[in-house]
Amino acid sequence: MLLVPVGHGTFPPEGQLEVITLATSKTSAHDCVASQWSLDDLAVELVNCHADEAMTRSTIWRILNAADIKPHRSVYWLNSHDPDFDAKAKPICQLYLDSLRLYEQGELVSSSDEKTGMQILHRKHPTQPAQPGKPEKIEFEYERLGTRVLLNTFCVPTGKIVWDLRLTRTSVDWVNHLDHATKHFGNMKKYHWVVDNLNTHWSLDLCRWVAEQCRIPFLPKSLKTGKQRRAFLNDPDHKHVFYFTPLHGSWLNQVELFFSVLSRRFLKRADFVSAESFEKRIREWLEDYNQCHAHPYRWTYTGEPLVRATPFSSNRRQKQQGRAWFGTRTPLWERKLYPSRPYRRKSNLLAANL
């Protein structure tokens, strides 16, 4: 008996749901020896279950593409086991949403962290530039010329950055950087700092600096433990208030997005002849970023916390399907640039040409 695949568009919603359910399940639950699903594996599994209604490989791809499911792709993530995750994440997210209003009232919301282990690499052979049909070729072998640490503060309402380039990242370096950032942003009524749980971010030196800035007594005997120091730094009555991200929740720190831009736009393909050349070029790049590319990030609650982190194609698909907060109607400029394509030709036009 010859099986004829069912045509495109004739599968009921139950069949499409079965494809999505299968693609989002583990392969081990279906006696598949592969560690991830492929289109061929999905087609074989569906044929085994429904031999009378065999679904073609292209149909499976269309269903997965419409649902924005990519079984062949994966990303690493670190689950947060912090029992107080919601209690710590909520005030940070609220700060991001209120950052512009607070900035107009004289309160600054900033995100600070260190970019550690930036390697100064010198390629043994020159990089070959891109050619028609060939990408840029970067030499695999390199020589290490040292490392540097970038202490950075990201201004949430404006997108501007303040940085210090150091050899180390001790608590003294961190305090000096915060003092530099405070003087750079001017005399504000209050400073809100979003930081992670690194021990230098709640050190005794930082508590001393906060006490001096807030002009309050410094009592080191009451700041012996990390819990006491974090509670002191998180005191809302202080001029400088520190908000610590949940355990394994560094994605809540917006400065990590800037570090991603730094890695992709500057560090990934760079080739340096000396440490002095690295320091000069990274300072030039940071200054250019402040002048030409600095922008605030828009914080949303659509599953992708930052709209700028969503690929443009996925963002368009989400808007069209109503899963983003923009609305379902396509903007006018997008309809002009990407007009709808008539994939199906009318039957009367075909008959007229015969």
Please give, one letter per residue, the 3-state secondary structure of the chain: CCCCCCCCCCCCHHHHHHHHHHHCCCHHHHCCCCCCCCHHHHHHHHHHHCHHHCCCHHHHHHHHHHCCCCCCCCCCCCCCCCCCHHHHHHHHHHHHHCHHHHHHCCEEEEEEEEEEEEEEEEECCCCECCECCECCECCCCEEEEEEEEEEEEEECCCCCEEEEEECCCCHHHHHHHHHHHHHHCCCCCEEEEEECCCHHHHCHHHHHHHHHHHCCCCCHHHCCCHHHHHHHHCCCCCCEEEEECCCCCHHHCCHHHHHHHHHHHHHCCCCCCCHHHHHHHHHHHHHHHHHHHCCCCCECCCCCCEHHHCCHHHHHHHHHCCCCCCCCCCCHHHHHHCCCCCCCCCHHHHHHHC
pLDDT in tens, 229-267: 999 999 999 999 999 999 888 889 999 999 999 999 999
State CA 47 to chain mean position distance: 39
Rounded average pLDDT over 316-341:
58
pLDDT in tens, 177-229: 999 999 999 889 999 999 999 999 999 999 999 999 999 999 999 999 999 99
User: For residue 247, how many other CB atoms are within 10 A of its CB?
Assistant: 16
Distance (Å, whole) CA 233 – CA 196: 13
Reference 75, options 321, 253, 317, 311; nearest CA is 311
Distance (Å, whole) CA 195 – CA 142: 34
> Pairing mode, if any, of strands 161-166 and 190-195?
unpaired
Report the alpha-carbon angle 283-285-287, nearest 5.
70
Reference 194, options 114, 112, 306; nearest CA is 112
Rg (C-alpha) for the chain, rounded Å, is 27
> Pairing mode, if any, of strands 142-155 and 161-166?
antiparallel
In the chain, domain spans: 13-66, 85-293
pTM summary value: 0.71
The answer on pLDDT for 70 being more than 80 is: yes
Rounded average pLDDT over 125-143:
90
Taking every pair of Cα atoms in the chain, the longest distance, rounded to a whole number of angstroms, is 95
pLDDT band at residue 321, thresholds of 50, 70 and 90? Answer: low
pLDDT band at residue 314, thresholds of 50, 70 and 90? Answer: low
More confident residue, 66 or 337: 66
> Pairing mode, if any, of strands 190-195 and 142-155?
unpaired
Distance (Å, whole) CA 208 – CA 202: 10
Q: What is the pLDDT, as a whole number, of residue 218?
A: 94
State CA 190 to chain mean position distance: 28
User: For residue 256, how many other CB atoms are within 10 A of its CB?
Assistant: 16
One-letter amino acid of 45:
E
Q: What is the pLDDT, as a whole number, of residue 304?
A: 42
- The CATH homologous superfamily for domain 85-293 is Ribonuclease H-like superfamily/Ribonuclease H (3.30.420.10)
One-letter amino acid of 288:
D
